[in-house]
Chains A and B, each alone.
Chain A
Amino acid sequence: MIRKTLRIKSELGLHARAAAKLVKLTSQFESDIKLSRTHVDEQVDAKSILGILLMAAAQGTEIEVMIDGKDEEVAMEAVVQLVNDRFGEEK
């Protein structure tokens, strides 16, 4: 199991389009992928768009990514890249 804290930099936060991209990505991996807002106990499943949107992560929110499974390393690398790339948005 590996963890990493990331900051949501995209202007609209982790909104519908970004969440869709994230789910499409995480669903390709076998590992269990969980997200939580830092300092909040409740975790959400990163393969569930309903869960991700319910985090209501606006721009600047810090989220913790927890990945557990065979392909956890590759998965983490891909998630970090997508988040830091502002989900492929302009700017």
Chain B
Amino acid sequence: MTQSKRDLSPQELSGVGLSPGVSIGTAYEVEPQIVALYPIRIASDEVTRELKRLRAALKESRLQLEKARRKLEAELGKEHSHIIDAHLLILEDPLLLEEIERKIQEELQSPERAVREAAENWISAYRSLEDPFFRERGSDVEEVVQRLIFNLMELDSQGHEGLPEDLILVVSEASLFLLVEYPLERVKGLVVKRGGTTSHGIIIARSYRIPVVAGIQNLKEVIRTGDTLIVDGTSGMVRVRPSEREIRNYQAQVRKEQKIQPELVGDTSPCLTSDGQRIYLYANVEIDSEVPLGLKLGGGGIGLFRTEYVYMKDKQKPVSEEQQFKIYKHLATVVAGRPAHIRTLDFGGERHPYFSPILGENDTALGLRGIRLSLRYPDIYREQIRAILRGSAYGNLKIVLPMVSDVDEVVQARRLIQAAKEELLEEGVAFNEEIEVGIMVEVPAAVIMLESLCPHVDFLAVGTNDLIQYTLAASRTDDRIANLFKPLHPAVLKSLYRVAQVAAAEGVLTLICGEVASHPVYARLLIGMGFRHLSMSPFAIPEVKGRLREISCLEAAEMVEEVLRQATLEEVEDYVNEFMKRQKTTV
């Protein structure tokens, strides 16, 4: 096999900036199925040890494959086991092995990196074949390589030592795992192949001020692990292998940006509109470590505490009630009297190591997720509810049920919550007996049935991302229909308006949780509809606060009235743009 030819000249890639800021760092291509980072390089005195680890991982992989073959043969007969035969031979392929060993010995690459690079040459060679049958064999190589890398990492105990301090992760998709599993303090930037502005990974990146550029289709051909990258999330540019001079220019810009940051912090004064209406701003948080930040940036509390991360903390085993309790207790203590809305488990769509057997292959947005999953597995749910209840003894925690589409789901969930309360009473464990329970309004069925749902809930939380996706039947992770995912679509606006009307009539407090709340024009529309509680990413709070202070509720309501008359997205956009232009000239 000849080495694949690689252009090493500086290059500029243009994408979409999804999280502003500039950073300079070392490219790191993240393995698609592997949820941790491994070292890139090793020291010369580690070669013998690392070769030994490689051999151990090869042996482990072989044992796993042989075991799989025996199982397959016992269940389906010999006919089907030849696939595994091929995998075993790929694993032991003398050419592949020779190249891996050479990379470890001569180039001082970590075994994981050596395996990936050596395999990549083969995989790209297969990709270029014309015959689809043989081209597809590249995925066999990929499978074997992932198994081998996984086993290598299992045998590794050195943690993050061999990783650079200034990682720029290069990924095909910005999943939630990406950032919660990795050493965030080392991640300086993110370059993503796919578009999609609302993935959880991007939301986290924004709240950590990690620049992100997405929508770069050919990143795999241009960027390799170890390359120096400049990521400009403000303009949407990525510079690959920049010149010394370019680096110096950007360094100045990075320093300048770091100076701007502090002024955002610490405005905790109330947010009043220009006509004196009080607006309550809250922070959406993904990870418990974001909570203090959200509060510090002027949040009136935590509007949405997503609990998926709680479940992801430990990859090896399900999180225990005790571990969960500690997190919720800490949350309750930190918010100090302010409310924290805890959304119960909302897996689905996101893969998860030990939930995957439950979720199966069909864990799409329309499948077994949110409250549906919780009601299906009441034992898992019971632990989470008990942990939240116990935490509620320490502060103002509230429970939010996700993906509700039916009154009966709320009734069932409340019954389980009641049962958990009775258990705790019997055990003599303290909790807040009056804990509030609300629902996420994110499925159109919930919007339609809102009058019937209201008597069963203490508050409503509108999940705008999902509401848009479900209302428009437009997936937010499919690039090909990204043009359909439009928050300003009249159908979405009318749904939101209906929620505001019903909630007001029924006297139910309603929180808007979703990135649209952080958009200045959208925030104005929400205020105009009558919403007074907005929750958003922590870093958006100071800016939104500033904008809302310039808005009068009366004017915003007039704008909403006008917008609701429009029949198409285009008309709404034209009206809004016109309105904003007028605002600018009158201010």
**Inter-chain contacts of B85 with A (CB < 8 A):** 17, 20
Whether a CB of chain A sits under 8 angstroms from the CB of B82 is yes
Query: In the docked arrangement, what's the CA distance between A24 and B86, Å?
Result: 10
Q: A56, B83: Cβ atoms under 8 Å? A: no
Total residues of chain B contacting the partner, CB 8 A? 23
**Inter-chain contacts of A50 with B (CB < 8 A):** 1, 90, 93, 95-96, 122, 141
**Inter-chain contacts of B122 with A (CB < 8 A):** 50, 54
Q: From A15, A17, A19, A49, name the one whose CB has the most chain B CB atoms within 10 angstroms.
A: A49
Query: In the docked arrangement, what's the CA distance between A62 and B479, Å?
Result: 44
**Inter-chain contacts of A54 with B (CB < 8 A):** 1, 122, 125-126, 129, 134
**Inter-chain contacts of A49 with B (CB < 8 A):** 86, 89-90, 93
Residues B109-148 near A (CB distance < 8 A): 122, 125-126, 129-131, 133-135, 137, 140-141
Query: In the docked arrangement, what's the CA distance between A36 and B83, Å?
Result: 24
Q: A15, B94: Cβ atoms under 8 Å? A: no
Query: In the docked arrangement, what's the CA distance between A6 and B514, Å?
Result: 65
Q: Which B-chain residue is minimally distant from A18 (CB atoms)?
A: B82
Q: A20, B89: Cβ atoms under 8 Å? A: yes
Q: A16, B94: Cβ atoms under 8 Å? A: no
Residues A32-47 near B (CB distance < 8 A): 45, 47
**Least CB distance, A20 to chain B, in whole angstroms:** 5
Q: A50-B93, A54-B126, A56-B129 known; A17 and B86 CB under 8 Å?
A: yes
Query: In the docked arrangement, what's the CA distance between A16 and B89, Å?
Result: 10
**Least CB distance, A74 to chain B, in whole angstroms:** 21
**Least CB distance, A39 to chain B, in whole angstroms:** 16
**Inter-chain contacts of B134 with A (CB < 8 A):** 15, 53-54, 56, 58
Q: B133, A15: Cβ atoms under 8 Å? A: yes
Q: B1, A16: Cβ atoms under 8 Å? A: no
Query: In the docked arrangement, what's the CA distance between A51 and B140, Å?
Result: 14
**Least CB distance, A18 to chain B, in whole angstroms:** 9
**Least CB distance, A44 to chain B, in whole angstroms:** 9
Q: B125, A48: Cβ atoms under 8 Å? A: no
**Inter-chain contacts of B135 with A (CB < 8 A):** 56
Residues A45-91 near B (CB distance < 8 A): 45, 47-51, 53-54, 56, 58
Query: In the docked arrangement, what's the CA distance between A45 and B86, Å?
Result: 16
**Least CB distance, B171 to chain A, in whole angstroms:** 26
Q: A16, B95: Cβ atoms under 8 Å? A: no
Query: In the docked arrangement, what's the CA distance between A47 and B85, Å?
Result: 14
Q: Which B-chain residue is minimally distant from A16 (CB atoms)?
A: B86
Q: Which secondary structure dominates where chain B touches chain A?
A: helix
Q: Which B-chain residue is minimally distant from A15 (CB atoms)?
A: B133
Q: A53, B137: Cβ atoms under 8 Å? A: yes
> Which of A17, A19, A24, A51 is B95 in contact with, Cβ under 8 Å?
A51
Q: B82, A16: Cβ atoms under 8 Å? A: yes
Query: In the docked arrangement, what's the CA distance between A49 and B134, Å?
Result: 12
Q: A45-B94, A50-B95 known; A17 and B82 CB under 8 Å?
A: yes
Query: In the docked arrangement, what's the CA distance between A45 and B135, Å?
Result: 19
Q: Which B-chain residue is minimally distant from A17 (CB atoms)?
A: B82
Query: In the docked arrangement, what's the CA distance between A52 and B129, Å?
Result: 13
**Least CB distance, A58 to chain B, in whole angstroms:** 6
**Inter-chain contacts of B95 with A (CB < 8 A):** 45, 48, 50-51
Q: B129, A51: Cβ atoms under 8 Å? A: no
> Which of A13, A16, A48, A58 is B93 in contact with, Cβ under 8 Å?
A48
**Least CB distance, A66 to chain B, in whole angstroms:** 17
Query: In the docked arrangement, what's the CA distance between A49 and B1, Å?
Result: 12
Query: In the docked arrangement, what's the CA distance between A48 and B85, Å?
Result: 13
**Least CB distance, A68 to chain B, in whole angstroms:** 16
**Inter-chain contacts of B129 with A (CB < 8 A):** 54, 56
**Least CB distance, B147 to chain A, in whole angstroms:** 16
Q: B130, A20: Cβ atoms under 8 Å? A: no
**Least CB distance, B520 to chain A, in whole angstroms:** 55
**Inter-chain contacts of B140 with A (CB < 8 A):** 16
Q: Which B-chain residue is minimally distant from A42 (CB atoms)?
A: B2
Q: A20, B94: Cβ atoms under 8 Å? A: no
Q: Which B-chain residue is minimally distant from A19 (CB atoms)?
A: B86
Query: In the docked arrangement, what's the CA distance between A54 and B1, Å?
Result: 10
Q: B82, A48: Cβ atoms under 8 Å? A: no
Q: Which A-chain residue is minimally distant from B122 (CB atoms)?
A: A50
Query: In the docked arrangement, what's the CA distance between A17 and B89, Å?
Result: 11
Quick one: CB contact mask for A1-41 with B, threshold 8 Å, 1 for yes? 00000000000110111011001100000000000000000
**Inter-chain contacts of A56 with B (CB < 8 A):** 129-131, 134-135
Q: A16-B82, A16-B140, A17-B82 known; A51 and B89 CB under 8 Å?
A: no
**Least CB distance, A29 to chain B, in whole angstroms:** 13
**Inter-chain contacts of A13 with B (CB < 8 A):** 133
Q: From B89, B134, B140, name the one whose CB has the most chain A CB atoms within 10 angstroms.
A: B89
Query: In the docked arrangement, what's the CA distance between A20 and B130, Å?
Result: 21
- Chain B interface residues toward A at CB < 8 A: 1, 82-83, 85-86, 89-90, 93-96, 122, 125-126, 129-131, 133-135, 137, 140-141
Listed from nearest, the 7 A-B pairs whose CB atoms lie closest are A56-B134, A49-B89, A17-B82, A16-B86, A20-B85, A48-B95, A56-B131
13 chain-A/chain-B pairs, Cβ below 8 angstroms? A13-B133, A17-B85, A20-B86, A48-B93, A48-B95, A49-B86, A49-B90, A50-B96, A53-B134, A54-B1, A56-B131, A58-B133, A58-B134
Task: List 7 other contacts, CB 8 Å, given A16-B140, A56-B135.
Answer: A13-B133, A19-B86, A23-B89, A45-B95, A50-B96, A50-B122, A58-B131
